[in-house]
Structure 1
Amino acid sequence: MESTMQGTSGIGQKQIKALPILVSLLLSGFIGMFSETALNVALSDLMQLLHITPATAQWLTTGYLLTLGILVPVSGLLLQWFTTRQLFITSLAFSILGTLLAALSPTFAFLLTARVVQAIGTGLLLPLMFNTILVIIPAEKRGAAMGMIGLVIMVAPAIGPTAAGLLIENLSWHWIFWLALPILIIALICGILFMQNVTSITKPKIDALSILLSSVGFGGIVFGFSSAGESEGWSSPKVIISIIVGAVALILFGIRQMKMKQPMINLRAFRFPMFSLGVLMIVLCMMVILSSMLILPMYLIKGQGYSAFKAGLILLPGGVINGIMSPIMGRLFDKYGPKWLVIPGLIIVSITLWFFSSISEASTVAFVIAMHSTLMIGVSMIFMPAQTNGINQLPRELYPDGTAIMNTLQQVAGAIGTALAVSIMAAGQKSYMSNVTNPEDPAHFLPAFTNGVQGAFIFGMIVAIVGLIMSFFIKRVVVSHKK
């Protein structure tokens, strides 16, 4: 069935020009991921230039994540209401507008608004990118295509901090966005020229209550965990109320979706065991990746005293290696299936995080580069194989729902993982300080901080071990979709 799918405009699968479509999507995705992480390096500069506190500055990241958490769940519905071209051009328009506003931003409020506009573009683009590839690429070649997405998703965040550090040292933080703008415009032109409509428009009924419950649910969870991880702490009423309200809304959302004939997100996708397992693996993997990407730069800058640019350079090899490995792992997945990649990958990640848990002020740059690179190789063996295998089990009509579920839970897992890692790090510092005679002595700061970092890596190792236990149940999906 898959080789003869018809698009909305009657374009047969053989007439679809996959390469130009892929180039347009990957260019856009690269810049979306680049600008998301590049700004993190500039936060300390922004605090001084815009006269804002760290808690206020973190809203540039929290606001971005919050917008994604609210918008991405609705994407499954949007994919069934609008054509591929309409969604692609709209997502690029928001990304370009947000990037231009960010480049011109004179104040914090202006920059925060620009970040939200950018996030709308990314929130539309990510599910569209995954869904389009599922439709235009045959299942037996899908691993390699998803590997290319992995290259984009992993290399962009790796290059982001290094490029941003270089730009900040020589120009200003505005140039992070000026650099991204022309590439987004090129991607838009490519999309206008080459993007084809590859999905069927079914226009399911829009249920306002489902959208409200989804927005409150995912938004509340992301906001609550992000606030706890930044500055509020777990005992803050704002954090507790946000998480409780979010959880209740999600439960009500789930109950409503299961009762509806045309749900906003079809949770029946979870009836497919390999999809459910794939989602769990992605959630655990994102928690490990994003918590490590947050803790390592903090350790290099605060613990070792490196500049943002040098810290970015130290982490660059691991990100580039991960990007190179992603397409290779995609091809190996097509040939051998997920089990012989995911299980060794989780073993590598668990062992590497165990080594990282002994990190100290005496750890060398070579040790950090070697361990980070090994960690990224392990991640490349888990992420795309688990994701592709899970999606492959779904029938074609559940592709929009499957991609919406996976992309949404990635954002939620990222928020939860970073919040828990930061909280564990803070608790480790506090525990160390409670056992010293003079907590005010500056000599204790570095050992206390290191103790906290080690605890955060132990948390990552435990998450990876849980994933390893689950991975023994993964099986290769034999694709024989019937609509």
Structure 2
Amino acid sequence: MGHGHKNDHGRKVGQEHDGAAAFSKESRGQSRGYALIAVVYLLGLIMGALDMSIVNPARTVIQNTMSVNDALGVWVITIYTLAYAASIPIMGKLADRHGRKSVYLLCILLFGGGSLLCGLARFTNSFELLLAARVIQAIGGGGIMPVATAEFGTAFPEEKRGMALGMVGMVYGVSSILGPSVGSGILEIFGQTEWQYVFFINVPICLIVLVLGAAKLPQSKGENVKPIDGLGTFLLTGMTLSIMYGLKNIDFFNLAQSVASTDVWPFLLIFLVLLPLFVLREKKAADPILNPSYFTNRNIVITLVCSIISGIVMMGTIFFPQFCENAMMMKSGSGGYFIAILGIGTAIGSMGSGRLIDKHGVKPILGAGFVGAAVGSLFMAFVACEYPNLLTVCLSMFLSGAGLGFTMGTPLNYMMLNNTDDAESNSALATMSLVRSIGTAVAPAIMVAFIVHASVGMQDNLMDALPKQVSVSPLPYAAQIDQKLDDMRADEETAEMLEGLDIPRLSDYQTIEVNMDSEGSDFDVEINDELLEKMENSDVTTIVGVCKEMTSDIFAQVKPKLISQAAEGMETGLVTMNEKAQEMQQAYDSLAETIAQLEETDAAIPGLFDEAEANYLTSIDDNAEQIQQVYQQTLNGGFRGMAIFVAIVALIGLLVLVPYKDNRPGQKNEVIEV
């Protein structure tokens, strides 16, 4: 049976399948039962989507409470992403074989059990348990999205499919975007160190879904069940884990060196070795885990490529809170409020795209989504980054959200379902989700590189923005001593006496030149790692304080050397002057007062540099706005590059979409081989 159209047998299988059984014409007439079934699937979707990012705000807290470093702590996120991607095609295939109810409830059970164990790891202080629990949670999460989406996509008549998938896209899209904000909110409510509640919150929801699902979801099984493709599953899992991990570790601004890293090339090599073995296996398998015919159907290939592109575009949103904080000069953690605007745009775009697809077909709607995503990103790059204010930031969030809503879920799910048989809708959507995860794996590495690249010049830019000199009170008797020495140098009788006298002009000490650049300084200055880490983790609201800390640290290193240098000159001058005065007794009386003044001035020098430090710190406060603007503009350069990259990717998606053959709504597409 060709993939890409629905013949009578495919339609019969689809009708007898659990999706149609769940929402047959008779069951749709029973609105209460329909609503409960919809709630069961939507609750799972919300949980699964939220958990893709809800843990992000808690990662640092988890590291600190479990005493692990960044290299280990990031595995709380990484291991979930890898296990999630690996489980998607397996759960999709199992749902096709054994029915959605059984697999969906199994996924909910695994997700809830994994969440419970994640929370309990807080009390056992076992990082190993946390990682194992995250794997269990991810395996369950990997089946929730494709199974629930397939239910909505196949249950409705084809002329209403866009509307149904629009609702799914809205729920999934908004939940994915709001994940970090929800995570931050939970930490605010329960306490910044009580991260276990980020996981525990899933447990009661899972119990509700299990109870309602067991009671209300219809039971069904696939027909003509064939032996599971164990070898294909093993090869696909190995390929998925290796390519995802390898891509995550690539630095695209330092491509050659990063690819040569042992965190990249061995895993890419494993993928390349497994790929031909997997292709050969799937061609021979009675029931392949990943249908090879998908990659010979032009429409499906275009759909899969567009799904990678949508994954890249979607991942740009994870940096939006940081952009909003920087643009609006807000403290870290407060940018999540602006994500609500992004969520509103996504919700409107998702629901609107679903209804428009039913009327106009999927191709123009997805194309409009790519254009909208590009427009939103370019607006951010050239307007919001250049002229950051409440209006431009909010508009960039809304435009990006609307474009994302038209792109992220509804059109692609529709395209995949419209080009495959209903009997394999679960595995078809799972394949698309797996391929999209490649985009979500690559995108953060690229986008972080833009921000890191912009931050390379941050320290130099900040040093340029700091004051270059500081004024202090005049040293005692500075003017009198300078005048006395000038008079003596002008007198032939006393000029000889001052030869070799190395006393600086004391009036010049009223203005002190300050060079905060350690490379241009006359002294060796070393900025400690703690301060460098503070600068790396600072934001636009804390950078002035960090600059003051760094200034105090540099003054603490330089001040003793400056005092010693000045005191050495003063001491030499005093010794020389005493010796000369004793040789020329007639001048001693006139020099005695000057010598006494020099001794008092010498004692005042340490206080002079203390005052210089205090006045310099005050001048930093006076220049706080300029320092913040330099920090903001430097970081906005990274966000600008990231937004331009997203816009280019979205426009590439528009070009990829051009050869897609879009039949009028309500018709299955014919097979188009490539």
Asked if TM exceeds 0.5, the reply is: yes
In the other structure, the counterpart of 1:180 is 202
In the other structure, the counterpart of 2:166 is 147
In the other structure, the counterpart of 1:456 is 642
In the other structure, the counterpart of 2:45 is 29
- CA displacement at 1:333 relative to structure 2: 0.6
Distance 2:376 2:56 in 1: 25
Indicate yes or no: 2:17 matched with 1:7: yes
The question of whether the paired residues in 2 share the 8 Å contact of 1:165 and 1:308 is answered with no
The question of whether the paired residues in 2 share the 8 Å contact of 1:395 and 1:481 is answered with no
Q: Summarize the Cα distance change of 1:166–1:262 in structure 2 as closer, same or farther, 3 Å threshold.
A: closer
TM-score by length of 1: 0.89
Distance 2:225 2:190 in 1: 48
Alignment of 1:252-267 (within 5 A): 252-267=277-292
The question of whether the paired residues in 1 share the 8 Å contact of 2:92 and 2:427 is answered with yes
Deviations 1:330-362 (A, max 9, x none): 111111112332222222211221222245486
Which AA in structure 1 matches 2:268?
A: I
Q: Summarize the Cα distance change of 1:394–1:10 in structure 2 as closer, same or farther, 3 Å threshold.
A: closer
Distance 1:180 1:371 in 2: 32
Distance 1:198 1:87 in 2: 11
- CA displacement at 1:306 relative to structure 2: 3.4
- CA displacement at 1:233 relative to structure 2: 4.7
Distance 2:449 2:284 in 1: 38
Which AA in structure 2 matches 1:376?
A: G
Alignment of 1:351-430 (within 5 A): 351-358=375-382, 359-360=384-385, 363-383=388-408, 384-430=410-456
The question of whether the paired residues in 2 share the 8 Å contact of 1:346 and 1:465 is answered with yes
- CA displacement at 1:408 relative to structure 2: 0.6
The question of whether the paired residues in 2 share the 8 Å contact of 1:66 and 1:219 is answered with yes
Number of paired residues? 482
* Partner residue of 1:159 out of 171, 178, 202: 178
The question of whether the paired residues in 1 share the 8 Å contact of 2:242 and 2:267 is answered with yes
In the other structure, the counterpart of 1:78 is 94
Indicate yes or no: 2:279 matched with 1:228: no
In the other structure, the counterpart of 2:359 is 335
Q: Summarize the Cα distance change of 1:137–1:228 in structure 2 as closer, same or farther, 3 Å threshold.
A: same
- CA displacement at 1:303 relative to structure 2: 7.0
Distance 1:431 1:207 in 2: 53
Indicate yes or no: 2:218 matched with 1:196: yes
The question of whether the paired residues in 1 share the 8 Å contact of 2:115 and 2:203 is answered with yes
The question of whether the paired residues in 2 share the 8 Å contact of 1:43 and 1:57 is answered with yes
Q: Summarize the Cα distance change of 1:308–1:169 in structure 2 as closer, same or farther, 3 Å threshold.
A: farther
TM-score by length of 2: 0.65
- Unaligned residue ranges in structure 2 (runs of 5+): 1-7, 29-33, 465-516, 520-526, 528-534, 536-546, 548-626
* Partner residue of 2:319 out of 266, 287, 295: 295
Distance 1:114 1:324 in 2: 35
- Unaligned residue ranges in structure 1 (runs of 5+): none
The question of whether the paired residues in 1 share the 8 Å contact of 2:353 and 2:411 is answered with yes
Deviations 1:226-274 (A, max 9, x none): 2336999544212221123124323432343234343221120233322
Deviations 1:304-350 (A, max 9, x none): 66345421111112113312431222111111112332222222211
- CA displacement at 1:87 relative to structure 2: 0.7
Q: What's the RMSD between the two structures over aligned residues?
A: 3.2
- Partner of 1:206, secondary structure, is coil
- CA displacement at 1:432 relative to structure 2: 7.3
Distance 2:402 2:659 in 1: 22
Distance 1:471 1:445 in 2: 40
Q: Summarize the Cα distance change of 1:200–1:66 in structure 2 as closer, same or farther, 3 Å threshold.
A: same
Which AA in structure 2 matches 1:139?
A: E
- CA displacement at 1:63 relative to structure 2: 0.8
* Partner residue of 2:308 out of 272, 283, 288: 283
Indicate yes or no: 2:345 matched with 1:321: yes
The question of whether the paired residues in 2 share the 8 Å contact of 1:269 and 1:401 is answered with no
The question of whether the paired residues in 2 share the 8 Å contact of 1:275 and 1:391 is answered with no
The question of whether the paired residues in 2 share the 8 Å contact of 1:21 and 1:196 is answered with no
- Partner of 2:347, secondary structure, is helix
Q: Summarize the Cα distance change of 1:239–1:161 in structure 2 as closer, same or farther, 3 Å threshold.
A: same
Deviates further, 238-247 or 304-313: 304-313
In the other structure, the counterpart of 2:570 is none
The question of whether the paired residues in 2 share the 8 Å contact of 1:158 and 1:320 is answered with no
